[in-house]
Amino acid sequence: MPIVLTPEATKQLVASIKRFTAEHLDEEVGDLKAALFLDFCLAEVGAVAYNQAIADAQQYFQGRTADLDGVCYQPEFSYWKTARKG
């Protein structure tokens, strides 16, 4: 599943990449180069981060649901066992 960003997020990320390259690499890049680099990062790095996030979420939810029967169990047919006799 490819990562799709909103136009606003893409615009902000392109600006961030341009600033990063200017400040840390002493390299001025234009919008096209920054957008191409962003596309590369999303395809290459984004997939790794996305897959790890899915694995982390799956592990989290499996841990939370492992004892679902013990935590959420409601005895069946218990009305007559607990009803007052009178």
pTM: 0.69
Q: Which structural domain, as residue segments, surrounds residue 50?
A: 7-67
- Core vs surface per residue 39-74: b (16+ CB within 10 A) or e: eeebeeebeeeeeeeeeeeeeeeeeeeeeeeeeeee
Q: Name the domain count of the chain.
A: 1
Residue 23 lies in a domain: yes
Residue 11 lies in a domain: yes
Residue 47 lies in a domain: yes
Residue 41 lies in a domain: yes
Q: What is the pLDDT of residues 6-61, one digit of tens each?
A: 999 999 999 999 999 999 999 999 999 999 999 999 999 999 999 999 999 999 99
